[in-house]
Amino acid sequence: MNWLCHSKRRLTVVNSSFSLFTNVLGQLRTATKRAGGTIKNNGSSPGKRLGVKKFTDEFVRPGAIIVRQRGTKFHAGQHVLMGRDHTLYAAVPGFVRFYVQTAGRFSRRYVGLVLDKTEKLPRDEAAHGRSRYFGLVELTGAEPATY
């Protein structure tokens, strides 16, 4: 196509290479993606140091962090408490145990503490009773002292 260019005194006809390009191809292609700019704030944040901090058979003191997590990947079991950011920490001194309990089709992973290293979780409360600590001595199953 020819374009008309107006100058101050005369009218000239200019042959445009753009119009020649569109005539040869029959169409003009445009970009289907926009140009991506640079990202300033991407990837500069430090890691949050999440994960399991104490593993099975490790001894922990009260208040020791066992698992740092987002959401409840692990649930609080026997003698373990959960913080407001879902951090699991020890309520009493003991050895860490990880175990799975299923209810119907759902299963949950739990973290619990035991005072004796040979004890298994989940605890059979019907046979052994509840696990209660008083001065770091397990009270269930103990014979009362007679004077």
| Kind of pairing between the strands at 11-15 and 59-60 | unpaired
Mean pLDDT, the chain cut into blocks of 10 residues (147 residues total): 59 59 66 73 82 97 97 96 97 95 95 92 85 69 59
CA 67/CA 58 separation, integer angstroms: 13
CA 34/CA 53 separation, integer angstroms: 45
- The whole-model pTM stands at 0.63
Residue pLDDT, tens place only, 68-107: 999 999 999 999 999 999 999 999 999 999 999 999 999 9
Instruction: Report how far Cα 5 is from the mean position of its chain's Cα atoms.
Output: 64
| Tokens 């922990």 -> residue | 60
Under a CB-based contact definition with an 8 Å cutoff, are residues 89 and 63 in contact? yes
